[in-house]
Structure 1
């Protein structure tokens, strides 16, 4: 998942950080893609964000 997509789903980098219980600074260090373990965490916390992937 691209970082910009995850931020868009959450509404902001700060909101994404709050969902994952990390700092906004950690999110800003990710680069283009969300780290694999954070994607796993998001799949469990926000499965609706991945619903389109399953349909494709």
Structure 2
């Protein structure tokens, strides 16, 4: 991999960690972690991610 991307927002510099995460976890591991992250944002009563669940979670 090796290529690192940085983004500057409001004078702050942010590094794109996705390539490092992919290298460490592999493709399948990255998908599993993404799935778990989206589940944390979901409204469990409705089974969807919506604006309210994003604000709450």
The structure, 1 or 2, with the larger RCO (C-alpha pairs under 8 Å, 6+ apart) is: 1
Structure number, greater radius of gyration: 2
Q: TM-score if structure 2 supplies the norm length?
A: 0.28
Q: Whose helix fraction is larger, Structure 1's or Structure 2's?
A: 1
Q: Whose strand fraction is larger, Structure 1's or Structure 2's?
A: 2
Q: TM-score if structure 1 supplies the norm length?
A: 0.28
